[in-house]
Chain A
Amino acid sequence: MTTIDAPRTSAARTRRGVNLEKWGWMYMRASGVVLVVLIFGHLFVNLVAGEGVKQIDFAFVAGKLSDPFWQVYDTLLLWLALIHGANGMRTLVNDYVTKPRVRSALLFALGASTVVLLILGTLVIYTFDPCPVGADPELVASFCSSL
């Protein structure tokens, strides 16, 4: 006689160790909640407050990035958003790309571009000089003239 498992009987564990897919799933939700707050704040400060999109120029960004608060804010935004986006794209690649070699190539490109952009973005935030030597005084932040 054939026996059938009761419904919702957990499947036998075939793998030991950390369940990376589960933590990826958790990451999407945890980072998502934080990103809602960070991105709404980012959009408000840049597009709603002040003069909106027209206010954004080198001096505006320099004013923000010379403040440790915005350095940390933008670093969190960069890392949380890019990893969230790359992991989402990984999900889509796994769903829609059926050829194994194409899938591997796309996942590699996704991972490589993510690492490069995380390093680039972090370096930009922490090596940024708001008052570059020899820059046009009209283009830099007003506090540069008092240096």
Chain B
Amino acid sequence: MPAKVAGAGASSSSAPLSVPAPRPPVIAGTLYRGREGMWSWVLHRITGVAIYFFLLVHILDTALVRVSPEAYNIVIGAYKTPIMGLGELALVGAILFHALNGLRIILVDFWSVGTRHQRALFWTVLGVWAAMMIAFTPRHLIAVFGG
């Protein structure tokens, strides 16, 4: 942001008050649109909605333990099929991103230099996410497909 506002309203009355010109109507420069800041925000919303709707279903399917062992086992059996197994991989990927990027948001909000490093933090989030997915994916796929 241009900082042509120093002393406004406070200091000498001789110098005319300088107000920054309106921002030119182009998407560039200091705007974060199209860059890491925007994509982390977009991904945070999309993963958040996906996790929310899974949570609704997951509370209901777990509530079946109160109905009968048979009812619970039939429904939880669906989670062990190949297609749902791949869905769980996507779900875990969404949860890990939302969790790590949530910690990034907290750092941007509360860490004194968090905003300055928000881009590096985003790439750190992606790096840690990739490492955790590399660890989780074979383990889960063996459980789903290996029997």
Contacts and interface: CB of A to CB of B under 8 A. Distances in A.
B144 interface: yes
Interface string A51-73: 11110111101100100000000
Contact of B62 (A5, A124, A132): A124
B19 interface: yes
A102 interface: no
A82 B55 contact: yes
Given A4-B19, A32-B106, A52 B70 contact: no
Interface string A103-147: 000000000010001001101100110001001100110000000
Contact of B8 (A7, A89, A121): A7
Interface string B65-96: 11011101100100110000100100010010
Given A29-B109, A53-B143, A117 B56 contact: yes
A61 B62 contact: yes
B140 A58 contact: no
Nearest to A40: B99
A91 to B, nearest CB: 9
B9 A4 contact: yes
B45 interface: yes
Interface string A20-40: 000000000100110110011
A53 B49 contact: no
A78 B143 CA distance: 26
A33 B103 contact: yes
Given A7-B8, A81-B55, A53 B66 contact: no
A48 interface: yes
Contacts of B68: 132, 135
B22 to A, nearest CB: 15
A6 B17 CA distance: 11
Contact of A113 (B56, B73, B95): B56
A6 B10 contact: yes
Contacts of B49: 88-89, 92
Contact of A29 (B10, B56, B106): B106
Report, nearest first, the 5 A-B pairs whose CB atoms are least far apart: A52-B143, A58-B69, A139-B69, A6-B9, A85-B52
Interface of A: 3-7, 29, 32-33, 35-36, 39-40, 43, 47-48, 51-54, 56-59, 61-62, 65, 78, 81-82, 85-86, 88-89, 92, 113, 117, 120-121, 123-124, 127-128, 132, 135-136, 139-140
